[in-house]
Structure 1
Amino acid sequence: MVAQAPCIREIVLSHGRYVWRLLRYLGVAERDLDDVCQDVFTTVHRKLGDLADEGLRPWLRTICVNHAKNYRRRARHHREMLVDEMPEPVVSASQEEGLELAEAQRCLLTLLDRLDEDWRAIFVLHRVEDLPMEQVAKIVGCSLSTAYLRYQRACAGLENALVNT
C-alpha cells in the first residue's frame, strides 16, 4: 500500500512556524515574511507531486533557501529609508528574559545581514538548523569542499562583524 501525500493544509499547520523562522534567518525581512511564506507554500502545493523519498522537511528547506535567495536578489533593488532608532517599549520585569532573547536574536539577524547570501544560507543550515554539511551542500547546490569553505568564511565574517560593532 502506497502512503498518501499530506495535504497542503496539514503541511502549513505542521510546518508553518518552521518555514517562517527559517526564512527569517535566511534574510527575509519580517515585514515580508507572510508573503514569502505564502509563496513557499504555493510552490509546495504546486509541486507536491514531486515530493521525493527524502521527506518533506528537507524538501521544504530547499524551497525556503531558493525563495529567500530570490527575495534577497529582489530586495537589492528596493531601498527603504529607515529611522535611526525605534522607541523603547515599556515592559514589566517578567518580560525581561524574553526581551533578552529577542535582543540576542535581533543581534544575530543584524550580523547575518552582513554576510554574502551563499555564506548566510550555509551558516544558517549548518549552525542554526544543525544539518550535516553533506546535506547543506546538496540543498544549496555546491560541492562539500565549497560548502565548508563558505562556512569558514561566514564564521570569519560574523566574528569580524561582531568585533567591529
Structure 2
Amino acid sequence: MSARDEAVEMIRRICPPHLSAEGYGQILGEKFDAHRAEVLAERDAQFVAWLLKRSREDEHGDVIARLASKVARGAVRPNNLRTDFFQPGQTYTSGTWTFRCEAISPSPTTGERRALGWTDTPVYDVRHWHPTALDLDDWAHGGWTVTEGGGES
C-alpha cells in the first residue's frame, strides 16, 4: 500500500458523519493526486530553469536547451525511458526496415510480449506499410534505433 493510500485510509476512518467513507476517501485521493501534480510541476519548472541557465553557460548549450525543451513539454517521462523492448508511439529503424510500434500485447497462448505495429519496407523504391508483430528475439537481434518522427502513412 502506498503512502497516499495509507493516508486516505487513515482519514477515511474519521470522515465527517454527513459523508460516506467511500466518498470521503475518493475526495481525499483526488486532493492528494492534485497536490502531487503541483509538486511535480514545480519541480519540473525548477529543473527547466536550471537547464536553461546551464545552456547559457556551457559550450554544449544547444544540447542542454533542447533537453530543457523536452522536459518542459513533458517528453521526458518514466514510461518512455525503457530500452529493453519496443515502446508504443516510437518509430524504429533497422537497416532498410522501419517499424512503427502501436501497442504491446502478450500472446494469448504463450504470454510472450509482442510489439504490434506497422513495418515499412521499400520494394523497388516504393514504400509498403504492412501490419507486423515483433517479439523479444526481433528486438534483441534487430539492431533497432529510435528515429525522430517518421512513420506517416
Q: Give the TM-score normalised by structure 1.
A: 0.28
Higher helix share: 1
Q: Which has the higher contact order (CA 8 A, sep 6+)?
A: 1
Higher strand share: 2
Largest Rg, 1 or 2? 2
